[in-house]
């Protein structure tokens, strides 16, 4: 899922664990920097088996990059190239393992065949046309705020969450020429951060509800899940978000079940809460926080009837299943779908393939990505480990997408 203007300024970090917390103008000119890497006549096409890919955002401070891997039918990853994003990575203050402290900083839009990446250190967003393992037609635009760290897409509309300063969301239209700022879409989150935020006070993720009628944002230290009801034209219907108190402490990642209920991962006690999103933007608690017994659950993604969460504190992945009534439960008694290993330290962001067959997990401290096959009962079987990625030190990789 970051900009002080880490445009050259980096603050030293204390390795403060996340668990101690109870736990940002629309640039109409948008200075769209265009770099054509392929002929403009090429267009997005349906993904075939030979085109399967996994994209990993390096988030390097001196020049952000996208690392591309070919994904075999067996889920194994093979390095297939590296592309400069045209911006700089970022590093939030005191972030313990995850420099952007967010989910959704790298997003693939299947409808348009577009890959979207944040450049937190330069306050920009990059779009690529993705064709298999090849990225072309790079476009770079201003994010509309400070330290962009998360992106949400619904139809041809994308919203970028800016974590720095007051925090904000800014809308864009996805076009063949990249992202075009959506006039009148900017909304403040009313936070009080520096341009490069403290990781614990930055918002965690922006995401659309599956029907596109609401835009959801989590704020960690405020302990809120904030909702912008949306108009049909892609603009928020309200000047300020509808603020809902989080059922659990330090809400971070957002995902949805097949019925459109929203699940929120909460880092304070490694819990997940389930809500119904009402049409007015208020949330109704469907299930109170479910603990997984692990440390610092921040990331959460759906794979069919299962959900998988990344616990960065003890480098594990938790599996969940949901029944037809919307009741969530752990897939096993101990809450661990994957035990830690020496090559899998610092679990952060996750990505799930479109067919729900494979889950890919970033290990920030190790600089690796693990791939797992999802079994019929939700069990995960490791099938691959990709190495040599930017490991967390001064900063580190964050953001992963699977095609």
Q: How far is it, in rounded angstroms, from Cα 383 to Cα 76?
A: 6
The one-character DSSP state at 96 is S
**Following CA atoms 2, 204, 346, 97 in sequence, which dihedral angle do they give, to the nearest 10 degrees?**
40
Is 7 within a domain?
A: no
340-393 pLDDT per residue, tens: 888 899 999 999 999 999 999 999 999 999 999 999 999 999 999 999 999 999
8 falls within a domain: no
Is pLDDT above 70 for 187? yes
How many structural domains does the chain have? 1
Taking the mean position of all CA atoms in its chain, how far away is CA 80? 22
Query: Quick one: pLDDT at residue 47?
Result: 53
Residue 48 lies in a domain: no
Q: 């009402």: which residue's tokens?
A: 278
| pLDDT at position 50 | 66
Nearest to 370 by CA among 396, 400, 394: 400
On whether residue 242 sits in a domain, the answer given is: yes
Does any domain span residue 197? yes
Length of the chain: 403
338 falls in which pLDDT band (50, 70, 90)? Answer: confident
Poorest-pLDDT segment among 41-45, 102-106, 122-126, 361-365: 41-45
* Neighbouring residues of 32: CB distance < 8 A, sequence distance ≥ 6: 139, 140, 141, 177, 178, 179
Residue 271, both tokens: 């819990």
Q: Is residue 6 part of a domain?
A: no
Q: pTM for this one? A: 0.88
- Nearest Cα neighbor of 256 from 238, 275, 243, 283 is 275
CA-CA distance, 23 to 17, in Å (whole number)? Answer: 9
Structural domain including 370 reads 18-42+53-402
Q: 66, 85 in Cβ contact below 8 A? A: yes
Residue 354 structure tokens: 């479109």
DSSP lists the bridge partners of residue 134 as 131
CATH number at residue 73: 2.130.10.10
pLDDT digits (tens, 9 = 90+) for 71-102: 999 999 999 999 999 999 999 999 999 999 99
- Is 296 within a domain? yes
Does the CA dihedral 26-29-31-35 come out positive or negative?
positive
Q: What is the pLDDT of residues 216-260, one digit of tens each?
A: 999 999 999 999 999 999 999 999 999 999 999 999 999 999 999
Beta strands in 85-202 (DSSP E): 106-109, 114-119, 124-131, 134-142, 148-154, 157-162, 168-175, 178-181, 187-188
Would residue 13 count as lying in a domain? no
């Amino acid at each position: 899922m970051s900009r002080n203007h880490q445009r050259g300024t980096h603050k030293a970090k204390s390795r403060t664990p996340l668990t101690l917390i109870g736990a940002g103008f629309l640039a109409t000119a948008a200075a769209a920097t265009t770099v054509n890497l392929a002929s403009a006549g090429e267009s997005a096409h349906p993904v075939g088996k030979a085109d399967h890919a996994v994209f990993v955002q390096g988030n390097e401070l001196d020049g952000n990059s996208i690392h591309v891997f070919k994904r075999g039918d067996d889920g194994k990853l093979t390095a297939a190239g590296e592309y400069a994003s045209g911006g700089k990575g970022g590093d939030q203050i005191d972030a313990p393992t995850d420099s952007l402290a967010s989910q959704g900083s790298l997003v693939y839009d299947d409808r348009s065949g577009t890959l979207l990446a944040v450049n937190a250190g330069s306050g920009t967003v990059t779009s690529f046309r993705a064709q298999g393992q090849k990225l072309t037609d790079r476009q770079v635009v201003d994010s509309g705020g400070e330290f962009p760290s998360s992106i949400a897409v619904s139809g041809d509309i994308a919203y970028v969450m800016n974590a720095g300063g007051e925090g904000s969301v800014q809308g864009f239209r996805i076009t063949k020429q990249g992202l075009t700022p959506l006039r009148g879409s900017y909304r403040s989150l009313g936070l009080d951060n520096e341009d490069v935020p403290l990781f614990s006070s930055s918002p965690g993720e922006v995401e659309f509800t599956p029907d596109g009628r609401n835009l959801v944002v989590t704020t960690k230290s405020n302990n809120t899940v904030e909702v912008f009801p949306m108009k049909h034209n892609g603009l928020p219907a309200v000047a300020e978000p509808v603020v809902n108190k989080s059922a659990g402490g330090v809400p971070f990642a957002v995902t949805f079940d097949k019925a459109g209920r929203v699940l929120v991962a909460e880092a304070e006690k490694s819990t997940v809460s389930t809500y119904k999103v009402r049409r007015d933007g208020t949330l109704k608690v469907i299930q109170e926080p479910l603990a997984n017994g692990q440390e610092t659950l921040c990331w959460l993604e759906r794979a069919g009837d299962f959900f998988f969460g990344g616990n960065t504190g003890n480098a594990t992945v938790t599996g969940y299943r949901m029944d037809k009534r919307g009741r969530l439960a752990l897939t096993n008694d101990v809450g661990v779908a994957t035990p830690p290993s020496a090559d899998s330290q610092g679990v952060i962001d996750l990505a799930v393939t479109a067919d729900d067959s494979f889950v890919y997990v970033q290990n920030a401290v190790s600089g690796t990505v693990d791939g797992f096959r999802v079994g019929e009962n939700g069990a995960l079987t490791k099938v691959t480990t990709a190495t040599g990625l930017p490991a967390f030190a001064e900063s580190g990789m964050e953001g992963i997408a699977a095609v």
